[in-house]
Amino acid sequence: MPRTAFASVDEYIASQPEAIQRVLTRVRRAIRQAVPASEESISYNIPTYKVNGSAMLYFAGWKRHYSLYPVTKALASAFEDELEPYEVEKGTIRFPLTGPVPAELIGRIAKFRATESGGRKKAKDLLRKKSG
């Protein structure tokens, strides 16, 4: 069975069961409040947030959890204590659907990723200028 191709984050969230919709709406709000200049889109068929054209953060809803991507080594290190209660592996943070949404933590993660991905883009731009 082919997967639905979502045209917007609204469409993605609306496709989820009602309980997950509420959770994903809170996750979305936390990211948008933390990084209001981010561009919201769908990439890899999940909600994506970009800063200066570079993807900084993705989220997705699942049966038993919702996830944030990507988790870099720097992010995992910076938030090590706060991420202790959650499953963190292979570049993903998995938050259980049964607990409260840690909106403040998600907002700080979004800000961290915006800074981190912005720094990477600047480095790539400098490399292009030097080689070009």
Select from 70, 59, 84, 68 the least CA-distant residue to 116: 70
The pLDDT of residue 117: 84
Note the CATH number of domain 9-131: 3.90.1150.200
Give pLDDT tens digits for 33-78: 999 999 999 999 999 999 988 999 999 999 999 999 999 999 999 9
Q: Who has greater pLDDT, 43 or 2?
A: 43
Evaluated on CA atoms 125, 126, 127, 131, the torsion sign reads positive
Q: What is the mean pLDDT of residues 24-39?
A: 96
Burial class (CB in 10 A: 0-12, 13-18, 19+), 69: middle
The order of strands in the sheet holding 65-69 is 39-43, 46-51, 54-61, 65-69, 92-96, 87-89
Q: Tokens 């045209």 belong to which residue?
A: 7
Domain residue extents for the chain: 9-131
